[in-house]
Amino acid sequence: MCVSMAEAEFSGTTLYAGRTRHPLHGPIEVLGYENTALNLADGPNAMLLHLPARAMTPDRFVSVGRRGGRVLAAMVDAVRPLSRSAGAMTMDWMSSDDPVQVFEHDVYTVLLADDPTLIPAALTRVPYRKRPRLDPALMEFYADHYPHHSIAVCCFDNADARRAKPLLLWYEPLDPDVLVAPALDAHTGGPPSAGEPVATDHWVIFGTDAAPEGWGEPVRYPHDLREKVRAFLPETVMGAHFAQEMPNGDFAIAHDDLLAGHLNRMERLAPSR
């Protein structure tokens, strides 16, 4: 799972979507993302994530720190025995009025925008060794199909891909009743084929601090994980592994179904028309 700006292979994906009441930010949704990337382009590449939120800012990308490299792996470890195959941030601060925010996060140079059609002109602000080629049709696809989302373009070179830590970020969700894990897939640099079958190799994990006692499986995070990272993470999780062809799209589940433990009601959402 992933959309890339040039040819690439992505495997071993872990997606986390959770609801929590953060001590500073209040009720928020947290997204976690990790995979193994093989860049097949002859230069830099980038992965794209469409985020079900507006007005995203760089401070919503959480640095997991030295001990946070296994936070998503710990969630997978928690649910793995029960699962069946289900078919340090460095920022260049800028005005919040900037329509495309460009900043460094872990090994990535990230471009963040509400309007994806503005991203091509901002690529000149990405260091040359990380600056990928861009098919404008890809940005038009996101503008047409995800008009209410923010778009994050995470640029990397070949060496970066091997050192990347999990991405962890937060936002106020567009729909408070549904959790969505972005899983759209396209590895050629062009627009995704909406709804067509794609291969999956995903752990999809959900969490919520509104769950009743006894819900889910407890997660054992690294004992020295920083408290400011732990504040974004769930104590217990539910999840499943997917390893078959599925229609291209995102994973989604109603919060009420998650609270009831009905993972079988998870849906695959195609891009909007």
Q: What is the pTM of this model?
A: 0.89
In terms of Cβ atoms closer than 10 Å to its own Cβ (0-12, 13-18, 19+), residue 203 is buried
* Residues above pLDDT 90, as percent of the chain: 62
The per-residue pLDDT for range 242-258, each reduced to its tens digit, is: 988 989 999 999 999 99
Instruction: Give the confidence band of 97 by pLDDT, cuts at 50, 70, 90.
Output: low
Domain assignments of the chain as residue spans, ordered by start? 7-269
The per-residue pLDDT for range 174-199, each reduced to its tens digit, is: 899 999 999 999 888 889 887 789 88
Look at residue 216 and give its three-state secondary structure: coil
At residue 98, does pLDDT exceed 50? yes
Look at residue 47 and give its three-state secondary structure: strand
Half-sphere exposure of 179 (CA within 13 A, CB side): 29
Look at residue 260 and give its three-state secondary structure: coil
The per-residue pLDDT for range 20-73, each reduced to its tens digit, is: 999 999 999 999 999 877 777 788 889 999 999 988 999 999 998 877 788 999
Region 6-31 average pLDDT: 90
